[in-house]
Structure 1
């Protein structure tokens, strides 16, 4: 529907006006005409108060607003007379907005002028868009609550290379998350902070509040009461986003204002809707969830062999060994050092890894040595010639991954290299793109009128990268496409591996943009061995889950600087629960593989023993992420959105919906101050009697902090599928499954298990070989003093052949009524006397000796008399 609404302002409108005054704003637009039909509205805007700061204003603007789905609203503002740069549809497929003229024509009208304002909404959507005049502003609100989600001030600035818009926020009611990539002390955004988005190879990624390798102009807003919504500004140009607590101001140096609003209302629903738009996260191969070891400084094949042997001897899981640039001949991609990494020595080593169920991954950088470039023309240009940069090989050219021929060349080189060394994955580094050389300004693009706060000191856009006056394929400027470089490379690398292996690719990318999760995992870059870096890694990990890149982790024990045994042990205990778990160190640091110190070896055996037991659960979370966007690691408010005390928790996190990790993040700590939302919580390690939080908002609990493990708890109401640990993921997959049933106070629980071969290109697709089983548990009183707790399985899909032979061997129940006078076990309504039972601790009870095929539905019933 479309309706006229009053133009009278409300309290938020007054607030935005006051903000405008504080910012000395004067520019603005009036609405000339508005026309709408159904879920679509278009308006013409004319400049009324121009300014000369940052250049002349665009005099006429077009606005379109459309409810593209019930949960997604699109609002786009652009120059009415000139085409402007926008994120290309080949990298971000989306609906093309209907132009104002086309809309007029479809309605059989030449024009439409409305004296006040207009609204679009529909009964099935909770979102409502309203345009107000004059002066122009727009609001986005929620039907069900009347809450205003986005309310722009009357000042809109739209120049060739400077765009500015401000929206008001309800003071004290909005908790914001997102807007990265930055190193932050907290996960929840703090007022009076500026978020600069410009992909940068920062020399010191341990410094706080500076722009890093990726740009994600997306935030989630969680309001009091638990309703959440998301806001994306789809724009690849550099920008500063100022968060003032009661307002957000966007200051963008190009492109268009292209906003997408996602209704939620739950945090999980927001991420579902967001990733439905930007693209679902790519399925990661099963092996990638194992533990990986790397070092910048493994100088020979013998070094690699020694490390693999060290892990085997220490009985610490090792899934893959990685090579940094040490393996290359002079730092050149797709080459081998003929002395230290000759093919006749490296290939047999990789073959032995594969025979042991282990993997090999190497780094690649997005440049080709100038003297080694092919006689083809697909490189970045400046002033008509190839841009000459300086990176590890010396003088280099940069492939232009926007050019299809560059992607073809990349695929050919990857395939050619894999014929020599069959690597299992590729690690895309330096792809901001990074450059060691210095550049002088060539034209006005190199020195825009507004200087974003690059690197915290307003450094030039050309700092540590290629100049922004560089030209890409189809005359696209680096000024516009800089933040997309890593995404284009990740896409080309993913496609190359997919074509060459016909298996699920594994790509790790440093530089990211919305949609990068469709192709790659991410690590948090060159961190340092410091306690604050350990804690801050949680914030970045949680942010990337919101950004649609769930496979994320930080270098365990830190990349730069020497660590201590205590710090490294605590980092292992946390890092074992990163979705992507890898240790990686700089060549100048002391060696610190996890087996070097006995204290770290103990932590590694326990922490990664737990991780490998949890692999079926973690891999099922990957399936959920791939199909719904749900992060693998989540903040507490994702499961408890109505508990406002969870909004600021960022020293703990959830693995899935119910595994709560409370790591030690300070030196010398013997306890951890942990927050537990309302409900039952069980220790994952010893299945101890539940900690029951009966209050509505949860409570803080002081936990003991053993030196060899983090505190890990399971929320009542969850069923976890587990397996016995192994030294590789393939070894762990050979054993039988176990179910860990944590009963809620009402005696119920649920969970699921996804199975496939771990490497097929599709994950859960139509016609694929996969199995999905859902488990449920209920407790009922059969007669006075007799209670029956029943676990049932429901096979949703079953086409993965091993699911017929894979069995559940035991079930552990936590939270049963205790003590019991006696019990009887039934499987599929038949009493089983041979099943072994054991009371583990108060309220915990195990049933073993079972052999229940995963692919067949079953029912396990425990009848207990009290």
Structure 2
């Protein structure tokens, strides 16, 4: 099923030169021949799920009979034999199988089905390698029953009525909970149409850059007065091309290769099941360096080092913290990796720039693609040493089995080849190139793009044509003559009518001047291919996947399935295509270890699969500058929590198309609470750095202040994820698993167990709306900014004031959160004074913890965990570890206090350091506590008029305008702030020993 956005009013709008400054410096383009557009076409196929003539394997195939069943305390093993004549529906039936069921522990079940007789060449069923999971095996299979052929495996399972299933990334979807009529196809592709600007990367429900065959299911039991729930994870350990077909009463799993290898993880709660998956099979996520949690800025279109410095200075002048400046392709010579564009990015000037940047505690992250340009051997000026060094080691992917020729496709620089990262020599080559480049320009990490093995031509199109290099890809790129983007967000015409009218005219003029066909020329259609005994059809397998690109072919815009690796079994891309992302990620990770020994690698990868979180983070692709796309980043982020890749973010303000002030403001607020916080856009659109609009700058400063206040909390969450498999971004239903009304929530999310984010996700609004879960069970909620208590009814959709500079953030009662005064970078923030916020639950208690280390070392020599407990009017700390943090404690704030007023805080065990605090008769330090003025102690009655956005089955639309009446009950609680702690903090830091503070 496809969802399409339905927008309000005029969508075409104006190019930004009339409204915003452009980055300095002209765009320069070197004229090169262009590859013919026909090279990017391929024969079409008809996807099985829409082909009425396709055989139904459940009807025509006999299934299997179990025999020789052996049971034990740890599982079941049985022989499976085909129960009748082979049907060979989509491949050659495998006559004899083994069923192996293992009860691996109380919460993990593994079911494998694989051929009984394997020969070494039968590598469709087992892929050799060592790149994925902690156990050292590449993913190779799926799990339990039904159809088993050499190019088609199918499992059908019944589902409960109204089931709640989440996950199966990567796709851009309108909801977090998957529809019960839905198909998710997995085959990595970069979705680029014949006109780059018209369809780049973001079609809804499409197969994208990553494959994670895992879902979370939650089932609610409403038959008792108190609703309960149970959750489990299903993970199919198979990375061949595949489809998951959801129907109202069943789920169908189909894959075109491999074996069946299913893992089932029981909760009972969602967070339990997610932790079991990570701890038991795919591994826990890597600890990122502390500085990775700052704010990052990049644009395709920063033409030189001077522009980079102006962007850094612009953020400094606007008082917006900037952690790292990144480079897109602009810094490279003709897009060739590991090269220097000495006209615009000369090395000496770059070294000076990086010296200044690093001196300020800031970082540089350039882009890296895993394709290698092939130089024209007849043109000595076209020499490319990186290619030559790889060629000398014969380490590139080949055109086919027994072929000595490299597979040559096309990428940004022209005809290119790809390193075969199954080879140890390729890893060494990759690391050597990184070290060599770092010696010239000391980068701080890599942003690994196009790692889904994309090629914008069909087959090995460069074979025999290398003399034409450098050659242009078969479509215009953003920013080239005629490729200006005039699109703006939904509702832009309402508040910018003049610009919208100008844009509409400009767009029509451009379309007339540069006509581009919106559909490809006709290509032949390959009909159903009948299986041939003993032969696998890799190019057009009998079962056709429902791929998004026109024609649905495995050949489109990807290295062809018949391309062959250099391992002893000559494994093909048919088996390894969806694994190239993690193979190239592992090589890049290892290269960073070589380049920066002892430091945590910071790496962001476009293509991921199970286990990638051990190595890298991920961003959500080249999203569009639309309100609908911003809305959908929340479901996308939550699905990557299920996939075990919590360090996730999106292209804030949008990559494709022009943003506007309101959208960019709201998006900067939202992304401030995603782990990866990065602003990125294309070079044929307006500039969108956060300092471009005064309102956006102010909103960003406010949201970023909260982000930095929560850095210690967030970093601690990542440590817990790394050690225990817990999650960072969470659906509301994960923290409140027994409330079925939360099962569909996609417009709110939580940061860990305690922070609730309710963003504004539509234009022209001054209020946000959301629910406060757990109210019926006594959960207390507080406004983070004021610490005033929120009073709402159970299940109430509360309207929250949210003027343009404000994003509602709330904290759950029962938490102790330690924070530091925000600085201009995460490094400055780490040197700030500590504050402790105690938000009390219904029992007047709270707890929490923080994890401390040096923030950069791969192996930590010293760490520290401080656990906070507040009970019986006393805050106590329990400290484990020896890491030294010398920062003082500035204040402690208590919210939600009920009872006799607090007048002072007595520190029971801190040696006096001096200052104005007076010691009581027992020698204990006594500090003043003042009632903090908030709006929580006033009875308020608010009336808000607003419009809702939501999914109506056809797209994102306005719902009716209506009014919501909210009554905030008079608060019966108080907030106190106790100050002066820095005067009595130990010289070696507040966390040098246990702290006991009693409030009286």
Equivalent in 782, 791, 815 of residue 682 of structure 1: 782
**Aligned counterpart, 1:308:** 312
- SS of residue in 1 equivalent to 2:271: helix
Deviations 1:71-128, CA, capped at 9 Å, x for gaps: 211111011123443354622347799xxxxxxxxxxxxxxxxxxxxxxxxxxxxxxx
Give 1:645-724 correspondences, 5 Å limit.
645-678=741-774, 679-688=779-788, 690-693=789-792, 695=794, 698-724=795-821
1:255 to 236, 255, 258: 258
Give the conservation status (yes or no) of the 8 Å contact 1:294–1:583. yes
Aligned to 1:782: none
Secondary structure, in 3 states, of the residue corresponding to 1:444? coil
Aligned counterparts of 2:924 and 2:708: Cα–Cα separation in 1: 33
- C-alpha contact 1:288 1:580 (8 A) present in aligned 2: yes
- Gap change, CA 1:401 and 1:31, over 3 Å in 2: same
Are residue 53 (structure 1) and residue 96 (structure 2) matched? Answer: no
Aligned-partner SS, 1:445: coil
| Structure 2 partner of 1:66 | 102
Asked if the contact 1:625–1:632 (Cα under 8 Å) also holds between the matched residues in 2, the reply is: yes
Aligned ranges for residues 378-393 of structure 1 at < 5 Å?
378-383=395-400, 384=403, 385-393=405-413
Q: 1:456, CA displacement in angstroms?
A: 6.1
| 1:182 equivalenced with 2:171 (yes/no) | yes
Give the C-alpha shift of residue 597 in structure 1.
0.7
1:237 equivalent among 232, 235, 240: 240
3-state SS in 1 of match to 2:213: strand
Question: Structure 1: which 5+ runs fail to align?
Answer: 1-19, 98-137, 139-149, 780-788
**Which of 184, 193, 205 is the equivalent residue of 2:201?**
205
Q: How far does residue 620 in structure 1 lie from its aligned partner after superposition?
A: 0.8
Residue 575 of structure 1: aligned partner: 671
SS of 2:641's equivalent? helix
Report the equivalent of 1:127: none
Which sits farther off after the overlay, 622-631 or 281-290? Answer: 622-631
Deviates more, 1:838-847 or 1:345-354: 838-847
- Structure 2 counterparts to residues 532-571 of structure 1, below 5 A: 532-571=628-667
Give, in whole Å, the separation in 2 of the partners of 1:469 and 1:809: 64
Matched with 1:792 is 876
RMSD, matched Cα:
2.1
Distance 1:628 1:822 in 2: 38
Question: Is contact 2:246-2:252 (8 Å) kept?
Answer: yes
- 2:344 is aligned to 340
Paired residue for 2:993, among 852, 856, 861? 856
Contact in 1 for aligned 2:287/2:600 (Cα 8 Å) = yes
User: Residue 87 of structure 1 contacts residue 234 of structure 1 at CA under 8 Å; is this kept in 2?
Assistant: no
User: Judging changes above 3 Å, is the alpha-carbon distance between structure 1 residues 458 and 346 closer, same or farther for their aligned structure 2 residues?
Assistant: same
Deviation at 1:694, TM superposition (A): 6.5
- CA distance in 1 between counterparts of 2:977 and 2:686 reads 45
Cα distance in structure 1, aligned partners of 2:902 and 2:74: 64
After superposition, the Cα gap between the structure-2 partners of 1:251 and 1:21, relative to the gap in structure 1 and judged at 3 Å, is: closer
Maintained 8 Å contact 1:293/1:318: yes
Q: Which residue among 143, 149, 159 is the counterpart of 1:169?
A: 159
**CA apart distance, 1:556:** 0.6
SS of 2:870 mapped into structure 1: strand
Q: 1:363 to 1:752 in 2, by over 3 A?
A: same
Partner of 1:223: 219
* Superimposed CA distance per residue, residues 649-702 of structure 1 (whole angstroms, 9 cap, x where no aligned partner): 1100001111000000011112222011121110011111x124574xx43211
Q: Which residue of 2 aligns with 1:266?
A: 269
Structure 2-normalised TM-score? 0.75
Matches within 5 A, 1:772-787: 772-779=865-872
Q: Which residues of 2 match residues 433-444 of structure 1 at below 5 A? A: 433-439=453-459, 444=537
The whole-number CA distance in structure 2 between the counterparts of 1:743 and 1:612 is 22
2-side partners of 1:378 and 1:646: how far apart? 51
Secondary structure of 1:321's match?
strand
Instruction: List alignment gaps of at least 5 residues for structure 2.
Output: 1-54, 193-199, 221-227, 376-383, 461-525, 527-534, 910-922, 938-973
Deviation per CA, 1:476-513: give whole Å up to 9, x if none: 11100111101011111111111221201000000000
State the SS of the aligned residue for 2:427. Answer: helix
Corresponding position of 1:399: 419
Task: Give 1:25 shift.
Answer: 5.2
CA 1:452–1:821: 2 relative to 1, 3 Å: closer
Residue of structure 2 equivalent to 1:636: 732
How big is the shift at 1:236?
A: 1.1
What residue in structure 1 maps to residue 572 of structure 2? 477
Report what 2:827 is aligned to: 730
Tell me whether 453-462 or 414-423 shows the greater mean CA deviation. 453-462
Contact preservation (8 Å) 1:467, 1:478: yes
SS of residue in 2 equivalent to 1:648: coil
SS state at 2:538 partner: helix
Rounded to whole Å, the distance in 2 between the matches of 1:313 and 1:726 is: 14
Counterpart position of 1:133: none
The secondary structure found in structure 2 opposite 1:236 is coil
Match of 1:812 in 2: 893
In the aligned structure 1, how far is the partner of 2:555 from the partner of 2:423? 22
The answer on whether the counterparts of 1:27 and 1:156 sit within 8 Å (CA) in structure 2 is: no
The secondary structure found in structure 2 opposite 1:386 is coil
Deviations 1:314-336 (A, max 9, x none): 00010000000100011111111
For the residues of structure 1 that align with 2:692 and 2:764, how far apart are their CA atoms? 21
Distance 2:553 2:749 in 1: 37
Query: In structure 1, how many angstroms separate the alpha carbons of the residues matched to 2:874 and 2:792?
Result: 25
Residue matched to 2:495: none
What is the CA-CA distance between 1:811 and the residue it aligns to? 0.9
Pick which of 616-625 and 294-303 moved more.
616-625
SS at the partner of 1:213? coil
Q: Deviations over 1:732-772 (max 9, x none)?
A: 11111111111001111111111111101036xxxx31111
**Correspondence for 2:557:** 464
CA distance in 1, matches of 2:924, 2:271: 41
Structure with the greater relative contact order (CA < 8 A, sep ≥ 6): 1 or 2? 2
How far is the alpha carbon of 1:248 from its aligned partner? Answer: 0.9
Residue correspondences, number: 769
Query: Are the equivalent residues in 1 in contact too, given 2:698–2:805 (CA < 8 A)?
Result: yes
Contact 1:443–1:469 under 8 Å retained in 2: no
Separation (CA, whole Å) in 2 of partners of 1:821 and 1:54: 76
Q: Distance in 2 between matches of 1:799 and 1:220?
A: 39
| SS in structure 2 of the partner of residue 455 of structure 1 | coil
Deviation at 1:473, TM superposition (A): 2.6
Partner of 1:214: 210
Query: Is 1:92 paired with 2:167?
Result: no
CA distance in 1, matches of 2:179, 2:992: 49
Please state whether the residue corresponding to 1:483 is helix, strand or coil: helix
Cα displacement (A) at 1:21: 9.2
Superposed CA deviations along residues 240-287 of structure 1, whole A, max 9, x for unmatched, are: 110113211011000001111112222111111111111110110000
Q: Deviations over 1:417-439 (max 9, x none)?
A: 11111111100000001111222
Confirm or deny: 8 A CA contact 2:902 2:929 kept in the other structure.
no
Q: Secondary structure at the match of 2:410?
A: strand
C-alpha displacement of 1:808: 2.1
* SS of equivalent residue, structure 1 residue 453: coil
Q: Alpha-carbon deviation of 1:180?
A: 1.4
1:131 alignment partner in structure 2: none
Which of the numbers 741, 744, 748 marks the counterpart of 2:845? 748
Q: Partners in 1 of 2:741 and 2:998 — Cα distance?
A: 38
Deviation of the 1:778 alpha carbon: 1.3
Q: Identify which of 516, 522, 540 aligns with 1:447.
A: 540
Deviation at 1:855, TM superposition (A): 2.9
TM-score by length of 1: 0.86
